[in-house]
Structure 1
Amino acid sequence: MSEDGLTITKGAAIRQGLAAVALFGAMGIALWVSEESVNSSGEPKPVTCSHGEPEKTPAQTPVEAGHVSGAQLCEALHRPDLADLLGTPGEAVKNANGGSRTFKPVGSDEEIHTPSGKVEFETYTVSLRASYDGLKVATVAEFLGDGTLPLTVLGHPAAYYSDRTITISFNLDGSDASTGSGVPTRSLVVARGPEDGGGSYELTLWRSDGTVPDDAVVLRVAEKVLPTVPGWAAAG
């Protein structure tokens, strides 16, 4: 029996559920799918940002002012010095992808889009998600935070929280999918603007060896990556 698998974080699922409950009373889950690329000789190509699930075209889903796409988030993450920022210089990118998931809360005709990008190395996986759900960082910290003091990152309200990945395996023989607990993650949620007016960027790191990512590493990546995201609002 063969399997196909993908990984999410519990925090991402909980947060999207919070947003749905706060706005409309429903719950959705964001998933990522990764893919690899090889050339005709069977050797790996230089990895570029691909799409596990293609995003809807602008004709299908108009991009709202100030919103980014999963492709743009992936490009912001997939910078030449990312391995150096992670403290693993010389490591090559294994996978990079971006996409957008949507959910339509019960009783509403509105679709909520959650774009995300992800870059995977041998040691670290880094994901960046944009949330336009109206939730404030203070609310996210209340439900997911670990008691750390409120932060200001790049002049924006921010908060850390810890989590674990969830691995979902789909059996290709048609039998039921199975889930399991994965590795620890560390996330930094940063408000989209200098005021905590709702919506945020969420940077999440996890390590293949199961070691909890250090906050200094998460912060170092955030301070370099976030200002390069299209539409980032610099603090005055």
Structure 2
Amino acid sequence: MQKYLAGVGRAFAVRVVVGMLVLTGGLFWRALHASDGQRAEGGEPVLCGPIKEGQPAGYPAMCAALNRPDLAELVGAPGERIVSAGVGTYSTWDLGAAQAQVGQLEVAISDRRTIPYDLLLDSTRVSAREVAPVAGRPAVAYAEPLHWVTLNLGTGGSGSDPIPAPAPTRDPGTAYHLVVARNADGSGGSLDVSLQRVDGGSADSERLPALAEKLMADLDGWNAPPLPTEPGQPTRAPRPSPSPTEFRPFSGGY
């Protein structure tokens, strides 16, 4: 009975988390991102905005770790500059969250102490697979197709008719995520690092492991060696994606 209840709880958590991804990360909603970030003025460096009521307590430290001079090189956009930085999108599970845009690339990071790193492997709604460890910690990569969202906030000239929404002119693209466990045995929650292009182009997912290691080195709780796996626990072989996919993260290991 205990195992059954645990399975039911995990299945429910998968649905909740995937639903959250569809509502927040999966929606390519530019107005939402812009409202949460501080944009650079002229040639001045961008600053992280002050924390506001209701935002994750760890936002300032995570934004500072993300808003770094070498971010352009880490994401594969040498010569570009950071044009915005802020809390970005976040959920009630996030202890910390931050987002920055460098050139046409958008980087986001979230610290979720209560969400297992491999939770999305149980869902067929995202392309997820276990990959090589990151800084001694197990990790999962997944691809998240983005979608356009259009809000009709006004009315037409006749009074009550909504203004027709313009059709999107290009594919909004894909966000690539790397989710890393806090501890070597997969426990302790997870850190989600994502990379996407705001112009609908393709981001380089191969850069996520090195980017995650650099960010973790500057984050309290992540910058120490992971707790070791309990003695006697077997090493679990990587699990493939639950559904066929062309997503091949990090040199096509699968």
Amino acid at match of 1:220: A
In 1, Cα distance between the equivalents of 2:205 and 2:16?
33
Post-superposition offset of 1:213: 2.6
CA radius of gyration, larger in = 2
In 2, Cα distance between the equivalents of 1:74 and 1:20?
32
Q: Deviations over 1:98-122 (max 9, x none)?
A: 167455xxxxxxxx44532111022
Match for residue 112 of structure 2 among 122, 126, 131? 131
In 1, Cα distance between the equivalents of 2:14 and 2:142?
23
TM-score (norm. length: structure 2): 0.63
Match for residue 159 of structure 1 among 129, 140, 155? 140
Post-superposition offset of 1:83: 0.5
After superposition, residues 8-47 of structure 1 pair within 5 angstroms as 21-22=12-13, 28=20, 29-30=23-24, 32-34=32-34, 35-37=37-39, 43=42, 45-47=44-46
Change (3 A) 1:214 1:165: same
Normalized per residue, which structure has more strand?
1
Aligned-pair identity (%): 24
Post-superposition offset of 1:163: 1.0
In 1, Cα distance between the equivalents of 2:111 and 2:16?
21
- 1:141–1:160 Cα contact (<8 Å) kept: no
Change (3 A) 1:100 1:153: same
Post-superposition offset of 1:176: 9.5
Normalized per residue, which structure has more helix?
2
The equivalent residue for 2:198 is 208
The count of aligned residue pairs is 197
Using CA pairs below 8 Å that are at least 6 residues apart, which structure has the higher relative contact order? Answer: 1
Amino acid at match of 1:195: D
In 2, Cα distance between the equivalents of 1:123 and 1:19?
36
Post-superposition offset of 1:75: 1.2
Residue 83 in structure 1 maps to residue 63 in structure 2: no
The equivalent residue for 2:215 is 225
In 1, Cα distance between the equivalents of 2:16 and 2:212?
32
Change (3 A) 1:119 1:234: same
SS in 2 for 1:182: coil
- 1:54–1:99 Cα contact (<8 Å) kept: no
- 2:127–2:143 Cα contact (<8 Å) kept: yes
Q: Over aligned residue pairs, what C-alpha RMSD do you find?
A: 3.6
SS in 1 for 2:108: strand
Post-superposition offset of 1:198: 4.8
SS in 1 for 2:154: coil
- 2:120–2:128 Cα contact (<8 Å) kept: no
TM-score (norm. length: structure 1): 0.67
Change (3 A) 1:140 1:176: farther
5+ residue gaps, structure 1, are 1-17, 58-62, 104-111
Post-superposition offset of 1:191: 0.8
Post-superposition offset of 1:166: 3.0
Residue 234 in structure 1 maps to residue 225 in structure 2: yes
